[in-house]
Each structure stands twice: as C-alpha cells, then as structure tokens.
Amino acid sequence: MPHFYRKYPTSGILQRERNRTQAHVIESWEELIGQQIGPEGRYTVRRRVGEGGMGVVFEAWEAERERSVAIKVLSGDGLSDPEILQRFRREGSRFSRLRHPNVVRVYGMGRARGLLYIASEFVDGVNLYDRMKEQGGAFPIDQALSICRDIAVGLDVAHASQVVHRDLKPENVMLTHDGDIVKLLDFGIAKDLNASVALTVRGAYIGTPAYSSPEQIRGETIDGRSDVFSLGVILYEMVTGEVPFKGKRTTEILYNTIKVDPINPSRINESISAPVARLIAQMI
C-alpha cells in the first residue's frame, strides 16, 4: 500500500478535501428561503433539499411557468476558489446543452446575493442510493437492467455532446415517483472533451472512490468509457447488493480498483445469467 501512495500522491488528499467541502456550512444560506432570485425575481426559494460536493440545493417556485425548480447555489468555499468557480460555470453551460428525458434539464444560471446559482428541473423522486437502501439487497435482474439501460441512454446523449459525467454514482441517479423514470443529474465535474486547457490540475483525482475508473484514479485523460465503467459498478451493485471494489480506507478502494479483479457477480447472486455477468465484465 505505501507504493500506492507514492505512485498516486493525489489520492491521499481526496477524503480530506471532500470532508472539508461537505463540512463547510454557511448558516446565512437559510436566509435565502422565501427570497426571490433570478431575472425579475423569477424564482421564489421554498426550502433546502440537499447538499453536494459543490453547493447546496434548494427547491424554488417559478410562478410564471407554475413549476418547481431546483436551485443549486455554489458553496462558500467555492467563492474564493477560481478552479471551482470555473467548474461551476461550465456545469451550467455544458449541462444546458443536454436535452433528453433521462437527463435533468438546466434552465439557466446567474447570481443571487453574490452567490452563483444554477436553476434546473426539479425531480420529484428518490435517488438510486436511497432506493438501494430501501431494497436492502439485490434488485430483481430485469429492474436493474432497465435502470441501467436508461442511465446508458442518458450518458449517450451527454457523450454525443462531448460531456463526460466523471462522478456517476447512485446518488446522481434519480428515479421519479410517477413511473420511475430515470434521470441523470449533477454533472458538477463534467469536462468538455474539446477543451484545450484542463480545468483540473493534471494528475488530480476527482470522483467518488467506489465508482471511479482506473484511468480516472490515475489522473489520466478520460472519455465516455470512464462513465461506462462507473455504470458497470452501479449495475454490479444493483444485482449483487454490494460494490465490486471494497476497502476500509479510500486508498484501499482505489488500489483494489486498479489492481484487483472483482468477484464474478454470479458467485454472489446465482440468479445472474451468464450474459449479464459478461456484460458487467465488459463494462468494468
């Protein structure tokens, strides 16, 4: 394991940076509730609904169109970080190009009380992570494949626009309450494949350990195949109830992803057919 630290030095700061970002809470954000933001006060903020790696999410009401809207506000740390600020701005511009039922739609972005925000479609549903917890084990194979197919369709739309998600995980997959439509969200670290200048430090690692591809962990240039790997991990987890690459520490998970072959999923769940097992093997 010490060799892993030396070979991939950026991995050692991953958890510290993630904890720093998530732990930073701006109490004044609650003051946004009830306020009107956006062009001509278009959005009335109703309630805080979540928090991600880059900001806090509120539900707002757009009276003109009579619809709920998700408002993602950049975290306080990001306001003084040019790299994160650039990434946030690009999230809005890149994500707004994606128009498909399996991708959450972005309506616009702007500033409110000195804070950057992105307004997007509000999804009334549950994320895949919470659905997995409710399930308490493996999904029925047909259901898992159906969810996987819809995620793949959404990714195909993104990849056709030269956008890679780079942080595909169950928390970023929403299942709507009305028919369980699958929607991808939070392309918060999406990267334009045509960009001549990378927005992240070369060799830096951005992602979620259990779902990251080997090339992503190594800090290499990635493309849509990295998202396919992450989707393979999600499918593996849906049909077995566990992730293929485990560890007690972040670095152990990253090491195992690069160096260790996962257990054949059919050994964990005997109902998994050979074709499904081969599909997963091709993805990861």
User: What is the set of domains in the chain, with CATH numbers?
Assistant: 2-121 (3.30.200.20), 125-283 (1.10.510.10)
Start-to-end CA distance of the chain, whole Å, equals: 22
DSSP state of 81: -
Give the C-alpha separation, 252 to 167, whole Å: 19
SS (H, E, C) 127-155: EHHHHHHHHCCCCCHHHHHHHHHHHHHHH
- The mean pLDDT of 194-210, rounded to a whole number, is 54
DSSP state of 261: P
CA 133 from chain center: how many Å?
18
* Catalytic positions: 167
**Considering the entire predicted model, what is its pTM?**
0.79
User: pLDDT for 124-156, tens place per residue?
Assistant: 899 999 999 998 889 999 999 999 999 999 999
Alpha carbon distances (Å) from 237 to 135, 151, 186, 242: 12, 14, 20, 5
User: pLDDT for 76-123, tens place per residue?
Assistant: 555 666 776 676 666 667 677 789 999 999 888 887 777 778 899 999
